[in-house]
Structure 1
């Protein structure tokens, strides 16, 4: 869609914000090398420069394919992505120093792989923007996407543990040295299916049956979809051994249902069903064991992580305690980029990257990072409000909520608010599946925000008024205001 002359698209503002974000990444990289080597190499800026080129390429695609898209989304996500690459390189440098090796190359180690995954992710995001020029096209394939989403969710559950289990959670597909987390892509497909289904069934699901404590509750016959998704979530909890994924899918559906019907009773029913199911799973794990035992053990670790019986390196509270100690060591201001000891935290490259980064940037730095996540979610919700069609509203709202809930699940697990999960921190953790899926999520938000911010009628916005169209064979006219 070409831009309309005379109307602001704020693409220059996006470019300026992107430049500021990359300057912060350069400063972070400089500080890391200064603290690790007591000097700064001449090429410290190269990873940030490569990232800047990649993000600038996506910016140019947006100028062409979605000129009215939200100008804040790309810079905010690019900042988190850039800091993630910078912190992973900090870990690579620390490993090289510990092994008395020369400084790692730009494209080596975990940070080099993350750079490659960032390139692939941005290419996918650009392709989505170029191919899907109208988000409503996605609704034509809603049932196919729903089926694909369910299949992606269930594949790790049916595979043997040797091909799907990492750290007690069956969320992966492992083929040789290659791993992929299909659930990351399933959430995108399920959001589209939920949105299409709820747009068609919104009026039926909005009907009230009984009023209790001033709240209108739905009819019993309309609980079928909620019960179905609830059972699917419990199956994920039991067979994939992951509370976070189960909460993500069920929370996504219930919140999307609430947005579609504007009835708080769906939220109350959803919360009661989910936490009731989790409590029953906990009791069954304590009494009969079996497939519920893993969740019971994780709950015990969460309830008392410093208990000596729970403190072990394999499946116990060791990584949770180390993460909490790392956060406590950082204090308010942190030890400084590159000046901490994040290598003492297990899985610091993936699940616990928030704890490792928190040791070095402190509570204030983590609060700023969470504010950036909050800003991304807020801009996604703003796109949902601005777009004119119901399908777009539900898709944008669902995607924004999914991102926010994923951040809550992983940060809540690291800080001990909820049991640990296998979720990754969006755009920050090492891993290609999460990075690609979340950049596709951002691309979809850009597409929907472009539709919402674009003028409803180009003829109304600029140019001379067109004469009213004469309907063929009828004594009437279409009058355009």
Structure 2
């Protein structure tokens, strides 16, 4: 890699850092007038860690995609900026808050873990050796909130575990381990799952005996919904498995079956679980008085988020000049609405473009990498991120019901930030293998290999002829010879 190319790559990261610094400066000048020393020190530490991570990628993953890291930096900066802006507003209203400071601490932790991953995980294929271990760890993390005394219920969903005064969402890490297992399992069984059965409405369905994996994952997803009341996580795991199943087999019938299972599950969930039915009612009739005035499970939060988006208009009210704190959970579940209020439609489209660059880089990596396990792993990880972004944006903009998922890299919360940073690092590691150039073969080596192949072919042909001759003589020796055998000409090659 030439020095000129490296300078172009580092310039992307430095440009992202400059845009972030201007945004923080403008936001603080319009709110408190100045930032705390602790916050500024943490910002400098995070900036230095981003530069260190880039240097380690250039050293240990030289052919990796250089588009992912600057996008992660910008998304993290926009999210932290909005969280700090809401903290300042809450402090001015007499409710002191330091969520942005904790977010920077979590971001620094995520970057340190990413640095370790970039240095230590030279070959991602080593993860395939621990496929069933990953399955056990993933299921254990997913069900850990159900342990009495450890799990915590927040907002009606039992998806948290308490660690002292802090809480952790283990489902964010479970998606990584289950992605490892799904990729390994589907890579080993892709030939059996690709075999088609009978046709239905022009679609060749899989064989009945091959439906076991999708039924098991569907039952597990419904179990998460039943035990933890978490619609978003259960839907995300099922959608991730179906997408990886399609990539492994190339059969659209799996997508069709996944949609059928999803419709059945959604219908049963509306009948059995009141909170799912309440979310659908709030989505269908958000502006009705009955839904808006409900004390629990109504559309009040959703409508306030929509009003925030409408207030932003095309260019937004400006950093520090809106009122995003009017919406509940404005720094986590509804941070997309907060960004839309102060940065407008242009800011929202910019955020979506950054996500699109990461997703497109992951998809290109999945298409370029020759290893089947890497192809499945990259597609599964990038689909998980795309699915989270779609469900959050779709829920806030009334396209689909709210699911409770968070925006990757932007929403307040250490679990989501660390897990998605590891996800991005894995995509970088896989992209290094995908972009690595093929070793050049010299003409002498090519000639040698061609002669060796020709020699092997001649030896194999002679052996087959000799076997055929010995077989013929064996067959004829069992019967009396009635004709004179042809003589062998002296000196004839045998």
Q: Which residue of structure 2 aligns with residue 377 of structure 1?
A: 359
Matched, 1:306 2:294: no
Distance 1:9 1:452 in 2: 22
Matched, 1:223 2:204: no
Q: Which residue of structure 2 aligns with residue 289 of structure 1?
A: none
Query: Structure 1: where are the runs of 5+ without partners?
Result: 102-107, 286-291, 470-474
Counterparts of 1:328-477 in structure 2, within 5 Å, are: 328-457=310-439, 460=441
Matched, 1:76 2:64: no
SS at match of 2:198: strand
CA 1:307–1:56 in structure 2 vs 1: closer, same or farther (change >3 Å)?
A: same
CA 1:88–1:199 in structure 2 vs 1: closer, same or farther (change >3 Å)?
A: same
Deviation of the 1:178 alpha carbon: 1.4
Aligned residues of 1:142 and 1:192 also touching (Cα < 8 A): yes
TM-score normalised by length of structure 1: 0.88
Matched, 1:238 2:226: yes
SS at match of 1:427: coil
SS at match of 1:179: strand
Deviates more, 1:175-184 or 1:65-74: 175-184
Deviates more, 1:198-207 or 1:162-171: 162-171
Distance 1:435 1:68 in 2: 25
Matched, 1:67 2:73: no
Residue by residue, what CA displacement relative to the aligned partner does 1:152-175 show, whole Å, maximum 9, x if unpaired? 112224547x93211112211123
TM-score normalised by length of structure 2: 0.85
Residue by residue, what CA displacement relative to the aligned partner does 1:68-106 show, whole Å, maximum 9, x if unpaired? 1001000011110111111122122223333399xxxxx
SS at match of 2:314: coil
Distance 1:59 1:297 in 2: 46
Distance 2:184 2:320 in 1: 47
SS at match of 1:164: strand
Aligned residues of 2:392 and 2:402 also touching (Cα < 8 A): yes
Distance 1:391 1:262 in 2: 15
Aligned residues of 2:331 and 2:411 also touching (Cα < 8 A): yes
Distance 2:348 2:79 in 1: 13
Deviation of the 1:317 alpha carbon: 2.1
Deviates more, 1:66-75 or 1:148-157: 148-157
Q: Which residue of structure 2 aligns with residue 177 of structure 1?
A: 165
Deviation of the 1:14 alpha carbon: 2.7
Deviates more, 1:47-56 or 1:211-220: 47-56
CA 1:224–1:9 in structure 2 vs 1: closer, same or farther (change >3 Å)?
A: farther
CA 1:45–1:21 in structure 2 vs 1: closer, same or farther (change >3 Å)?
A: farther
SS at match of 2:383: helix
Distance 2:218 2:179 in 1: 15
Which of 19, 22, 31 is the aligned partner of 2:26? 31
Q: Which residue of structure 1 aligns with residue 236 of structure 2?
A: 248
SS at match of 1:216: strand
Deviation of the 1:47 alpha carbon: 5.8
Deviation of the 1:45 alpha carbon: 7.1
Deviation of the 1:307 alpha carbon: 3.0
Distance 1:398 1:437 in 2: 14
Q: Which residue of structure 1 aligns with residue 306 of structure 2?
A: 324
Distance 1:463 1:344 in 2: 71
- Structure with larger Rg: 2
Q: Which residue of structure 1 aligns with residue 87 of structure 2?
A: 92
Deviates more, 1:209-218 or 1:144-153: 209-218
